[in-house]
Structure 1
Amino acid sequence: MEHVESNTDALTDYKNAEAYVEEVAIARITDEELFNLSAESLRWKSWTGFRIFLIMIVQGCCMAGYGIDWTVIGGINNFSTWHAFFNFKDTGTTIATFNALMTIGSVCAAPFLSLGDVIGRRGVIFIGNFIVLAAAFIQAFSTGIPMFMAGRFFLGFGSALMSQPQYIGEVAPTHLRGRLVGLYGACFQFGSVFMSAGLIGLGTMTSNWSWKIPLLLEGFFPAIVCGTIYFISPESPRYLIIKGRKEEAAMVIARYHTTEGNNPDHPLVKAVVQQMEDSISGATNMEVWDWRGFFKKGARSRVGVLIIYSIFQSWNGGGIIGQYLGPACETVGITSTTAKNGFSFGSTLTYLIFTVVGSFIIDKMWRRHLIFIGIGCIILIQTAITILSWQYTLHESKSTAILTIFFFFVFQACSATFIATMHNIYPVEVLSLSLRAKGMGLYSLIQSAASTVQQYGIGVGFEKIGYKLWVVYIVYNTIQLGLSYFCFPETSALSLEEIDAVFETPGVKPVKMSLDIKKAQKEHDRLEAEAALNGTPAM
């Protein structure tokens, strides 16, 4: 079989060339050898597969804990005992501030995510889980609103550090990356389902323990992570490469990417290590507080995409169903605490199921198509909810209320399938290795800031204009859909390092470059198929 030039060599050649020829660059980077080699090197039913499973259990606990954190406040907001203890209503500035403080904590923690390049990815995850564990006790045993607010802030601070999809993206075998990152994101909903189910039963209690127990359970999964992470989860091989610990990185890749599990001289190990080394060669912003690399020409496009995407993720309207489902139900006449918690449980379970579904289709569809379909569905569903809520204000029909709740569930299904799985993988793919730790910190910072505005705005908005708040999101999501077409490049079926070409090829915009690459890949596959039918070697 004819030898095909490696992606790494090709990227190095054309990036260093004085003249740029777009067609040559495209032809060189359509190679999928690394992906195929990864698939050939690992048999899932092996000890290596079991070790990956254990990693997913531990890291999944991080996201499950995060899911509990975001579910608790919306659930106990339906409990009269909680409102009586702190003396406030279920809408307005107090509950909005409680929600906002968690995202403010996340904003403040975001710069510290870059410590992943100093103490390792595991170190940051451990610290985050420990802070969440402490915050759970602070909230549960608060004696007043100021103390509870402090607990919410530290909860957000720790949550930002403990949920790191980049770790899964860096440890996972190349051919499993999309699926594992998608399943990692689904664990958020597992935690939410776990908590939502508990809230249904706790809602029948009349003592203050009805809201204290959920707050204490915020520390359940973080305690598991703190006790197991250094025994089960390896350090990221990319971090080890950054620190010059090449031999350790090779052993991690061998142990978790190959069936053999102990051969650092395996062809896949050499290829992955070489690719990582080439990716960070010449990087100038590896110091933890050095952000100059974000202002370089190639990096500016990445940062722009990251900023827009993080805002879009936060402002699509999902927060209404997430943290304000109770008030949303009240707009169509559903006021029972048990009913609202039951709907919350069903909504969260729906999201979990369809997030898992999304994790299995994410590598079968283009990233851009997932974004377009997801936003388009959300616009249609929000329009339906607005019309039905308006009709309920005119007639107060039970069937209208039921249909509105049905569309809440449809919203969750579409959001989970097409948008949620992208949340944890697209930002990682957009960022180069040298920018990744700081870039994910920036992503968390912007997303948390946007969420702070949204959470506060929803709380006040429901109090002021009720169901009409949906109209604001319809208009916004329509604008978002148009901007997505022009701003978001395609990243599917490209290794994390090969995406450098999309952003760093001179003279071509990232979206156009990514689409040209996809066309070239399609043509390459067609020629290979024809060659196989004719019995001739592929060119």
Structure 2
Amino acid sequence: MGYKITNIYVITTVAVIGGALFGFDIASMSAILGTQQYKCAFNQTGMKDGKCGGPTSSTQGGISAAMPGGSWVGALASGFVTDYLGRRGAIQVGAVIWCIGSAIVCSSFGIPQLVVGRFINGLSVGILSAQVPVYVAELAQPSKRGQVVGAQQWAITWGILIMFYISYGCSFIEGNAAWRTPWGVQMVPAALLFGLVFVLPESPRWLAKKERWEEAHEVLATVHAKGDYNAPFVQTEMHEIREMVEFERSNKDASYLDLFKGNMIYRTHIGVFTQIWSQLTGMNVMMLYITYVFGMAGLTGNSNLVASSIQYVINVVMTILALVFIDRWGRRTPLLVGSTLMMTFMFANAGIMATYGRPAPPGGLDNVPEQSWDLSDAQSAAKGVIACTYLFVASYAPTWGPVSWIYPPELYPLRLRGKAVALSTSSNWIFNFALSYFVPPAFENIQWKVYIVFGVFCLAMTIHVFFAFPETAGKTLEEVETMFTTPGLRPWKTKVQYQHVRMLEQGAIQTDKAADIRAEEGTHIEKNASALPE
């Protein structure tokens, strides 16, 4: 198959550049929308105190929402793209579309062109956010699947951090170059992604689905067993994949309607709500419009931007916890703990602002209508809002952030996985679209009560996860399928089976390393050696 990268961590590093593109968009919009250069270029509200007022709040909501609107369309379309072109082909299509959209955005001479460019960028993000998790999930060993799929979220956090500081640095440039430069620079990683995908292996499960068995076997052997075609774990995976493909062969090509038939609708609702709830935590809203929140806390100008950037650093650092421990923690526990903590900090912010704040003057603080609440006279309370915001981010980063990308690809059978994850991801983007449009006027009209809304959502998702979301960690993708098709599933009784998959994978490790592993992990593996696949 020619030269291919076979280390799963290197493969993941390349693939999740697609996730970083979403982070670029969040950070650049957040950092740019408060600058005078941007406001003057797209000014609709005239001059106030010698400064450009920028777009109206509803127009800014539309500009921000154009990207997730496009992502919704892109995510749905990705199901067809990935089934036809493969996981790698879908990623490359997304990279090309991103470059086209970025070229339109950075050359914008009016709001309509800006909206069109951001919509096209959204098409790219929709495709990549849906198919990158599928790609790495289908390549990874079960004990590493959460780790490598979770890297999608880590890439998003890095994209946010890097692009925020690029945009912040460019804010000191005079004229339109202040916002054209960062929106042009973001084409570089997409071009890099397009080129590097040529040296990545294709998903073995997609190859098997297309009856390309020799290639599928080769990919499994090179990625999981350093080229040993006869390694027990490789043989076990090939056997399970072959059984699954044979079982599904009698079915016609899967359609989106199949996701709503029979017991599949249960899994569909879990995948869809995983992505919906991840948006209704309020995290992306906090990221995109954080300058409004800190503006209400009394921060202005560069101090606002610098304080906003701290949460991006927290996001990057705290996501590392998930990458290290997520396959041992599982999926249910992080979701339940994360939503409970986020609910607490949302309600805390609402209480602080209601108790110590007051309505801002007409037109908002610093002539920003969205900054409709004033905490400037209560500095301790303002610091409390900032602290709760940072703690909220620290709660989201190792929990709902990565798990919302890890969980959906694990839920579905092979024949439906591409379209199912596309549908799940599209629900993320349609809610992202709605919230991006809703939040600016919400801050303007219901003020601190915005926090109450998201706090209630966090409470609802905690209850939903406990009763409806089963544990998928510690199982091969084929074993997850068996779990869902076995009668009597009780989500709250499902457990992480990390040692189970580690024992399976030990069969793929070369003989000269087996003794070291036994010594490191103790006699448990020795006692269960008979359970390893022959």
Given that residues 331 and 466 in structure 1 are in contact (C-alpha distance below 8 angstroms), is that contact kept between their aligned partners in structure 2?
Answer: no
Looking at structure 1, the residues matched to 170 and 335 of structure 2 have their Cα atoms a distance apart, in angstroms, of 37
> What CA deviation, in whole Å up to 9, does each residue of 1:343-392 have, x standing for no partner?
23211111011111111121121321111100000011112212222344
Aligned counterpart in structure 2 of residue 203 of structure 1, from 171, 189, 196: 171
Question: Given the superposition, is the C-alpha separation of residues 275 and 534 from structure 1 closer, same or farther in structure 2, using an over 3 Å criterion?
Answer: closer
Q: Does 1:299 align with 2:279?
A: no
The 3-state SS of whatever aligns with 1:362 is helix
Match of 1:227 in 2: 195
Aligned counterpart in structure 1 of residue 20 of structure 2, from 48, 59, 64: 64
> What CA deviation, in whole Å up to 9, does each residue of 1:220-246 have, x standing for no partner?
21011112211x211111110000001
Looking at structure 2, the residues matched to 215 and 305 of structure 1 have their Cα atoms a distance apart, in angstroms, of 35
Aligned counterpart in structure 2 of residue 160 of structure 1, from 126, 130, 152: 126
Which amino acid counterpart does residue 476 of structure 2 have in structure 1? Answer: S
Looking at structure 1, the residues matched to 258 and 343 of structure 2 have their Cα atoms a distance apart, in angstroms, of 37
Looking at structure 1, the residues matched to 529 and 113 of structure 2 have their Cα atoms a distance apart, in angstroms, of 71
Given that residues 240 and 248 in structure 1 are in contact (C-alpha distance below 8 angstroms), is that contact kept between their aligned partners in structure 2?
Answer: yes
Given that residues 5 and 11 in structure 2 are in contact (C-alpha distance below 8 angstroms), is that contact kept between their aligned partners in structure 1?
Answer: no
Aligned counterpart in structure 1 of residue 415 of structure 2, from 434, 445, 448: 434
Instruction: Report the Cα offset of residue 322 of structure 1.
Output: 1.0
Question: Given the superposition, is the C-alpha separation of residues 268 and 518 from structure 1 closer, same or farther in structure 2, using an over 3 Å criterion?
Answer: closer
Mapping for residues 389-538 of structure 1, pairs under 5 Å = 389-394=353-358, 396-506=377-487, 508-509=488-489, 511=491, 514=494
Match of 2:510 in 1: none
Match of 2:221 in 1: 254
Which amino acid counterpart does residue 494 of structure 2 have in structure 1? Answer: S
Aligned counterpart in structure 1 of residue 243 of structure 2, from 273, 278, 284: 278
Instruction: Report the Cα offset of residue 60 of structure 1.
Output: 2.7
Given that residues 285 and 293 in structure 1 are in contact (C-alpha distance below 8 angstroms), is that contact kept between their aligned partners in structure 2?
Answer: no
Match of 2:102 in 1: 136
Instruction: Report the Cα offset of residue 437 of structure 1.
Output: 0.2
Q: Does 1:81 align with 2:61?
A: no
Instruction: Report the Cα offset of residue 288 of structure 1.
Output: 6.2
Q: Which deviates the most, 180-189 or 420-429?
A: 180-189
Match of 1:23 in 2: none
Mapping for residues 46-195 of structure 1, pairs under 5 Å = 51-88=7-44, 89=54, 92-114=57-79, 115-163=81-129, 164-195=132-163
Which amino acid counterpart does residue 254 of structure 1 have in structure 2? Answer: A
Q: Percent identity?
A: 24
Mapping for residues 23-42 of structure 1, pairs under 5 Å = none
Which amino acid counterpart does residue 491 of structure 2 have in structure 1? Answer: V
Instruction: Report the Cα offset of residue 90 of structure 1.
Output: 6.3
Which amino acid counterpart does residue 153 of structure 1 have in structure 2? Answer: F
Which amino acid counterpart does residue 171 of structure 1 have in structure 2? Answer: L
Instruction: Report the Cα offset of residue 331 of structure 1.
Output: 1.9
Q: How many residues align?
A: 482
Instruction: Report the Cα offset of residue 297 of structure 1.
Output: 2.1
Looking at structure 2, the residues matched to 421 and 456 of structure 1 have their Cα atoms a distance apart, in angstroms, of 24
Looking at structure 1, the residues matched to 262 and 197 of structure 2 have their Cα atoms a distance apart, in angstroms, of 38
Looking at structure 2, the residues matched to 285 and 421 of structure 1 have their Cα atoms a distance apart, in angstroms, of 35
Given that residues 319 and 402 in structure 2 are in contact (C-alpha distance below 8 angstroms), is that contact kept between their aligned partners in structure 1?
Answer: yes
Which amino acid counterpart does residue 413 of structure 2 have in structure 1? Answer: S
Given that residues 429 and 496 in structure 1 are in contact (C-alpha distance below 8 angstroms), is that contact kept between their aligned partners in structure 2?
Answer: yes
Given that residues 30 and 290 in structure 2 are in contact (C-alpha distance below 8 angstroms), is that contact kept between their aligned partners in structure 1?
Answer: yes
Match of 2:351 in 1: 387
Looking at structure 2, the residues matched to 385 and 456 of structure 1 have their Cα atoms a distance apart, in angstroms, of 22
Question: Given the superposition, is the C-alpha separation of residues 530 and 85 from structure 1 closer, same or farther in structure 2, using an over 3 Å criterion?
Answer: closer
Given that residues 327 and 498 in structure 2 are in contact (C-alpha distance below 8 angstroms), is that contact kept between their aligned partners in structure 1?
Answer: no
Looking at structure 2, the residues matched to 289 and 434 of structure 1 have their Cα atoms a distance apart, in angstroms, of 6
> What CA deviation, in whole Å up to 9, does each residue of 1:87-121 have, x standing for no partner?
14466111110121111111111222122121111
Looking at structure 2, the residues matched to 520 and 72 of structure 1 have their Cα atoms a distance apart, in angstroms, of 42
Which amino acid counterpart does residue 514 of structure 1 have in structure 2? Answer: T
Q: Does 1:323 align with 2:280?
A: no
Match of 1:310 in 2: 275
Instruction: Report the Cα offset of residue 317 of structure 1.
Output: 1.1
Match of 2:47 in 1: none
Q: Does 1:349 align with 2:345?
A: no
With normalisation by structure 2, the TM-score equals 0.84
Unmatched segments (≥5 aa) in structure 2: 45-53, 359-374, 504-520
Given that residues 264 and 270 in structure 1 are in contact (C-alpha distance below 8 angstroms), is that contact kept between their aligned partners in structure 2?
Answer: yes
Looking at structure 2, the residues matched to 223 and 520 of structure 1 have their Cα atoms a distance apart, in angstroms, of 40
With normalisation by structure 1, the TM-score equals 0.83
Which amino acid counterpart does residue 200 of structure 1 have in structure 2? Answer: Y
Given that residues 142 and 474 in structure 2 are in contact (C-alpha distance below 8 angstroms), is that contact kept between their aligned partners in structure 1?
Answer: no
Looking at structure 2, the residues matched to 109 and 251 of structure 1 have their Cα atoms a distance apart, in angstroms, of 31
Question: Given the superposition, is the C-alpha separation of residues 285 and 314 from structure 1 closer, same or farther in structure 2, using an over 3 Å criterion?
Answer: farther
Given that residues 73 and 426 in structure 2 are in contact (C-alpha distance below 8 angstroms), is that contact kept between their aligned partners in structure 1?
Answer: yes
Match of 1:371 in 2: 335
The 3-state SS of whatever aligns with 1:204 is coil
Given that residues 118 and 288 in structure 1 are in contact (C-alpha distance below 8 angstroms), is that contact kept between their aligned partners in structure 2?
Answer: no
Which amino acid counterpart does residue 33 of structure 2 have in structure 1? Answer: N
Given that residues 285 and 291 in structure 1 are in contact (C-alpha distance below 8 angstroms), is that contact kept between their aligned partners in structure 2?
Answer: no
Which amino acid counterpart does residue 64 of structure 2 have in structure 1? Answer: N
Match of 1:7 in 2: none
Looking at structure 2, the residues matched to 109 and 287 of structure 1 have their Cα atoms a distance apart, in angstroms, of 24
Q: Which deviates the most, 201-210 or 318-327?
A: 201-210
Match of 1:244 in 2: 211
Instruction: Report the Cα offset of residue 520 of structure 1.
Output: 13
Instruction: Report the Cα offset of residue 50 of structure 1.
Output: 7.1
Looking at structure 1, the residues matched to 191 and 529 of structure 2 have their Cα atoms a distance apart, in angstroms, of 56
Question: Given the superposition, is the C-alpha separation of residues 191 and 252 from structure 1 closer, same or farther in structure 2, using an over 3 Å criterion?
Answer: same
Instruction: Report the Cα offset of residue 513 of structure 1.
Output: 6.6
Unmatched segments (≥5 aa) in structure 1: 1-46
Looking at structure 1, the residues matched to 468 and 284 of structure 2 have their Cα atoms a distance apart, in angstroms, of 24
Q: Which deviates the most, 238-247 or 473-482?
A: 473-482
Given that residues 16 and 155 in structure 2 are in contact (C-alpha distance below 8 angstroms), is that contact kept between their aligned partners in structure 1?
Answer: yes
Give the root-mean-square deviation of aligned CA atoms. 2.9
